[in-house]
Structure 1
Amino acid sequence: MKGDTAAARRAWRRLEPLHGMIYFVPEAAERYAKLGLTGMSGYFASRGAAFGRASADLVIATFYNFCPDLVRSSLPAAWNVVTPEQMLEARLEAATEALRRAGIHDLPHLTETLDLACRAATAACDHPQGRPLFAAHAALAWPEDPLQQLWHAQTLLREFRGDGHVATLLAEGLGGLEALVLHAASGEVPTAFLKISRAWPEEAWTAAEAALQDRGLLDAGALSAEGQALRRHIEERTDTLAMAAYGALGDDGCERLAELARPFGRRVVDAGLLRLG
């Protein structure tokens, strides 16, 4: 679908903190712990619960860049402790509490922002093919509370874009670990964080670096010119694939959502909802 991909990317990026904070806020960890899950078990079970009793292999395939051993240390054992329905409820409650703590519900233009985000998310629901993680979340019932609806809409848009991103990585011959190494080499996210959170053994990381250097994508641990070009291509292709959702808003609608989303994303950041630890 044609459209202004740059405006659509801005709209997604500026509103994304409203979803992304769920992986960092204490409200989530506390609720998962009350159900008996701690650490990465809570993460894998809460995000994978949309699939039902998701197997480790399904999560490894769809989450894409986590060390398989890390996933298998949590699943399917988590389902002996909780049900998917309990995890979905806990996740939504945690998101609601954290966003209210940040004061998102008091910001101006909530209704218009919600309308635009829901329109894009609803349009995405017409294109579930090849997007398994999105499709699983799209099958969940929409919440009734407006703040929860906004979080759910952005969750759908995030997973829709994410599935398209994975498809692009596959098309470019990049596995999950190789994609991580390239991401680290870009300097956008600290390498130490990616290594710790994804738990790949150091020898596997080193081997991936060597393979990418052999492909001409890395030069002394940094992105080569070819690596930079590939990263740009991947992001641009991901933007294009996301237009099946954002194209429904038109260029003006994407620009408006990008404008409205800025204070929402900023409020999440300023409230410390994305802070590690």
Structure 2
Amino acid sequence: MNSMARRMFALVEPIGMVPYSADEPNEAMFALGFTNYWDTYFAGRAAPLGLPTAEVVDALFYNFAPGEVARHLPKVWRTTTPEAAIAARQEGCVKALRRILGIRVDGPALARGTELLTRAATSAPTQGRPMYAALRALPVPGEVVARMFWAASLLREHRGDGHIAALMVEGVGGLEAHVLAALDLGLPADKFGRIHHLPAAQLAAVIDGMRDRGLIGDDTWLSEAGRAVKQRVESLTDDLAARPYESLEPEELDELMTILEPLATLLLAAQD
């Protein structure tokens, strides 16, 4: 496992999660006319792709149940445009980051951290990274907090593209990935946030399929083989996520980590 990539994930993820962990991004999207959280999710995250079909977005997002994406796309584009969704999401995230980080957002440390983060985020090849490529094709925001959020989102989508590749290498489907994550955390699959809403028969079929392949034991928890698959997926994900940070000198990477640590602490506390 690439410990550097894992450490950077822990520091960057709280920034990239702001659209889903703070109120301001939802409020900005609702101001466009949305009334449903999942409409805002699909509009906000899919917007850099333009106007692809639900089938394409389902393939790229990977981990939604059949038909879930189609309930929101292309419907959301009757409410707004991709360009307006991108702008609203950015506006809401900047407001949230300014509220949570306070005076830190106007200091030299954050400006320097954003410079390093942006350099890393824009340094990796886009081949085989569709979500990363779509977001990277957008104009670089001029305002420093917006640029920090954009860079963190780039790194999140870059890692996500690699994570899907790692899941596919191990033959783990999208819904199965949620089951793996839930059981690895010690949660029953039917209590896990991203799949608890599925019909019981559908979720049972996913679990039965994993049990048939030896990933889940008769006790309904991960088997030794299941734990090994989860570990290999995470290890390969970390390895595939390392490339952007290799563009920084070791001392620059250390500096970036030092800058991001207190920001991540504040952002994680705000989630609670």
Instruction: Give the TM-score taking structure 1 as reference length.
Output: 0.90
Residue 202 of structure 1 is matched in structure 2 by: 200
1:13 aligns with 2:10: yes
1:115–1:188 Cα change, 3 Å? farther
1:200–1:256 Cα change, 3 Å? farther
Deviations 1:139-180 (A, max 9, x none): 000100111111110100000010000011111111101111
State the one-letter code of the partner of 1:142.
V
Question: How far 1:112 moved relative to its partner?
Answer: 2.5
Deviations 1:74-94 (A, max 9, x none): 110111111000100000000
1:189–1:239 Cα change, 3 Å? farther
Residue 112 of structure 2 is matched in structure 1 by: 112
Distance 2:207 2:38 in 1: 25
How large is the Cα RMSD of the aligned pairs?
1.9
- Contact 1:182 1:223 (C-alpha < 8 Å) held by counterparts: yes
Question: How far 1:217 moved relative to its partner?
Answer: 1.3
1:18–1:188 Cα change, 3 Å? farther
1:154 aligns with 2:160: no
- Contact 2:19 2:26 (C-alpha < 8 Å) held by counterparts: no
Per chain length, whose mean CA-contact separation is higher, i.e. which structure has more relative contact order (CA < 8 Å, sep 6+)? 1
Higher mean C-alpha deviation, range 237-246 or range 187-196: 187-196
- Contact 1:217 1:224 (C-alpha < 8 Å) held by counterparts: yes
1:5–1:252 Cα change, 3 Å? farther
Residue 224 of structure 1 is matched in structure 2 by: 223
Name the count of aligned residue pairs: 266
Distance 1:211 1:183 in 2: 16
| Structure 1 alignment gaps of length 5 or more | none
Distance 1:246 1:5 in 2: 11
Deviations 1:175-222 (A, max 9, x none): 1011111111111777331224xx433212111111111222112222
State the one-letter code of the partner of 1:110.
L
- Contact 1:8 1:255 (C-alpha < 8 Å) held by counterparts: no
Question: How far 1:69 moved relative to its partner?
Answer: 2.0
Question: How far 1:8 moved relative to its partner?
Answer: 2.3
Residue 266 of structure 2 is matched in structure 1 by: 267
Residue of structure 2 aligned with 1:211, choices 203, 206, 209: 209
| Structure 2 alignment gaps of length 5 or more | none
1:254–1:204 Cα change, 3 Å? farther
1:257 aligns with 2:259: no
Higher mean C-alpha deviation, range 25-34 or range 71-80: 25-34
State the one-letter code of the partner of 2:265.
R
State the one-letter code of the partner of 1:95.
C
Distance 2:204 2:261 in 1: 38
1:265–1:107 Cα change, 3 Å? farther
Residue 143 of structure 1 is matched in structure 2 by: 141
State the one-letter code of the partner of 1:160.
H
- Contact 1:35 1:82 (C-alpha < 8 Å) held by counterparts: yes
Question: How far 1:15 moved relative to its partner?
Answer: 2.1
Instruction: Give the TM-score taking structure 2 as reference length.
Output: 0.91
1:265–1:244 Cα change, 3 Å? same
Distance 1:232 1:108 in 2: 39
State the one-letter code of the partner of 2:225.
E
Residue 244 of structure 2 is matched in structure 1 by: 245
Question: How far 1:267 moved relative to its partner?
Answer: 1.0
**What secondary structure sits across from 2:127 in the alignment?**
coil
Q: Structure 1: which 4+ aligned runs deviate by more than 4 Å?
A: none
- Contact 2:64 2:174 (C-alpha < 8 Å) held by counterparts: yes
Question: How far 1:71 moved relative to its partner?
Answer: 1.4
- Contact 1:31 1:90 (C-alpha < 8 Å) held by counterparts: yes
Q: Aligned residues: percent identity?
A: 37
- Contact 2:176 2:210 (C-alpha < 8 Å) held by counterparts: yes
Deviations 1:239-263 (A, max 9, x none): 1111221111244443433332111
State the one-letter code of the partner of 2:117.
A
Distance 2:63 2:165 in 1: 13
